[in-house]
Amino acid sequence: MLTTTRTGPPERRGGPARGLPRWSYGLVIIVVYTIAFALFLTNKPWSHAVVVEISDSAGLCGPLLGVAFAVGAWGRGAGRSRGLGDGDRRRTWAPHLLGLGILCYALGAAAWTVYELILQQPPFPSLADPLYLSITVVDRLG
């Protein structure tokens, strides 16, 4: 019987010295983006019209980052439910539904931006309203 032993630094063996988890990089991106966006909104470096255009457009980036991270979690198999009990199986749907809620918010923000910037119409009532309201239902399910 042939046996192999793993040698090398602990990073390659999967030991405790692995470094930061993958999700921490995403967290850093979101925190830096949020701080930069908040600083932009509080300082308002340009005219009101320009600030509104930039804030509406840049306001889509944060939720889309959340959707990207949720899709990344789906790709890594966060929702696999083999061998789990019913309660555990329901818990595996939670990240998916929360990601869907973030997507509903992003679509609502996109509709709001189209109404306000492109169509030059007041965005209420609009298509953005049911999208924003669907967040509550989807997140409660998650």
Q: Per residue in 76-125, pLDDT tens?
A: 655 455 555 555 555 577 778 888 999 999 999 999 999 999 999 888 88
Q: How confident is the model at residue 15 (pLDDT cuts 50, 70, 90)?
A: very low
| Under 8 Å between Cβ of 81 and 88 | yes
Secondary structure of residue 124 in the 3-state scheme: coil
Q: How confident is the model at residue 19 (pLDDT cuts 50, 70, 90)?
A: confident
In the chain, the number of structural domains is 1
- The average confidence (pLDDT) of the chain is 79
Residue 15 falls inside a structural domain: no
What is the rounded (10 degree) CA torsion for 88, 91, 95, 98?
Answer: 170
CA-CA distance, 51 to 19, in Å (whole number)?
Answer: 39
80-90 pLDDT, tens digit each: 555 555 555 55
Residue 13 falls inside a structural domain: no
Q: What was the pLDDT predicted at 9?
A: 54
What is the rounded (10 degree) CA torsion for 47, 48, 49, 54?
Answer: 90
Range of the domain at 91: 23-141
Residue 80 falls inside a structural domain: yes
Residue 6 falls inside a structural domain: no
